[in-house]
Each structure stands twice: as structure tokens, then as C-alpha cells.
Amino acid sequence: MERQDGELASDVLGVAVLGSALLLLSGCGGASAPPPVQADLALNATDDAFNAQRLRSLYTKLSAMAEPMRQRSVRESPPFHLQVPTAQGDEPLVFTLVRNGAGEYPHLRIARPKTGEHVNFVFGGSVAQGITLRLTDDQGRILQRDGQSLEFALFDTRSRSRAPQDWIATGIRIASLAFLVWIGAVVVRGVAAAVGFVAFNLIVLGLLAAGLGVAIPVIRWFLESSGIDWETVRRFVEQTAETIIALLREVANGLPRVR
């Protein structure tokens, strides 16, 4: 009888230990979802002043992404996580500078974890006919929406802008349009303008990291003709919130309503 009592106690102890282990596993790991990634920037659909204030503090993060790309052996920068409001709720986007099949120079890649989609922002066209912004897959194939290729006229090489800031402002307009057409009507135009602000400044920083040694003629022309350098981008990003608000509103007003 004493032996049976000892075996019963041992069984109870074993069940208790097993139950505690299962509870510990279910609480600390197992099938539980990982915590959401903290956004480096969260945009607001209606508050231009909030967005502008956040945008003007971004230069340090954006330049830190671009700096490693000075080394040709680096294929991808640290990610920049951007949260945008959409018709279905907030959605994360992941920005990186990459070298891949779409372009062997540092260029912007945006991924939508929610849908699994991605897009590369690369330069096309020619110095003779004008520079374009192409949205491609990772192999460099131009993406399409509603049967239309996502390639946008960027700079007319026959004309000269008055100042480096003008080149950046023009690029933001085109990058905003390209992003809006790619992602569709799930975001408002004001949010697309703010995304374009981040996108084109990051595109330029990636090109500056590559330097004038890049062999692509349209990129060499842009870097030589625009007069843009790291300090120009810093000043542009860190300008007063009121100036950024005015730019975002101007860009948003010029964007079409995507259906």
C-alpha cells in the first residue's frame, strides 16, 4: 500500500511538472505571434502639421541607411519602417536601399508585408530624351497597373532647375505620383505626398552613397547637373515644418484621384 501511495505521488508530481512546462511554453513562445515592429515613422491621414514635424526629423535615420551603401559589397541597407493609414486601417511599409537585379546601384525598394508586394524605384530613359522613374520587380521588369507601365517622366534634360532644392521638390512630386499609382486608392493623396518626401530623399541619398563613379549615364548626369550633395539633402529635410506643409499640400493637390 505504501508503494502504491508513492507511485501516485510521483505521478501527480510528473503531471504538475509537465503542466507547468506547457504553460511556460505557451506563454513564452510556441505559436504566439511576434510583437509588431515599431515604426520609424507613423503618418497621420489628416494632420499635415504632425506629418511635417515628423518628416523634418528624419535626416539622421535616412543618412544612416545610405552610408553603408558606399561599400559596393553591401547589398542591402538597414530597413526603415513606415506606417501609413489606409482605408483598411494602418499598414506597415518597409523601405530599404538595395543592389539587386533591378539595379546594381543603391536604389529604393518598398515592400508591403500585408500583401507580399514589393517595388523597386530605379532610373531609366536617356540623357538625350529625358530621365524617367521606373517601378520594377526585383529582376528589373517594369510593373503595370490597369495595363499601363509604371514609368514616369522625371527630369527633362534640356532644362535646368534654378537650385538643388528644385530638383528634390520635382522628384518628390513624381515619386509621390508613382507611389500612389502603385499602391492604389487605399491611401489619401496627402499621405502619398509624405511617402514621396521620404522616398525621393532616400533615393538621392542612395545615389550620393554610390558617388559619381556609377557607370549609368543618366545617374551621372543627374548628380553632376543638380548640384545636390549630402548637406543639400540635410537642409531640405530639416527645413521648417511650415515649408514642408506647403510642399506636401502642393504635391497632394497635383496628384490625380486614383481609382
What was the pLDDT predicted at 161?
67
Among 185, 106, 118, 119, smallest CA distance to 152 is for 119
pLDDT reading at 23 higher than 70: no
pLDDT tens, position by position, 107-150: 999 999 999 999 999 999 999 989 999 999 999 999 999 889 99
Instruction: Give DSSP secondary structure letters for 119-137.
Output: EEEEEEEETTTEEEEEEE-
Q: What is the mean pLDDT of residues 194-215?
A: 92
Q: Which residues contact 250 (CB under 8 A, 6 or more apart)?
A: none
pLDDT reading at 20 higher than 80: no
Q: pTM, whole model, 2 decimals?
A: 0.84
pLDDT reading at 93 higher than 80: yes
Q: How confident is the model at residue 88 (pLDDT cuts 50, 70, 90)?
A: confident
pLDDT reading at 90 higher than 60: yes
- The number of angstroms, rounded, from the C-alpha of 86 to the middle of its chain's C-alpha atoms is 16
- Residues 158, 151: contact at Cβ < 8 Å? no
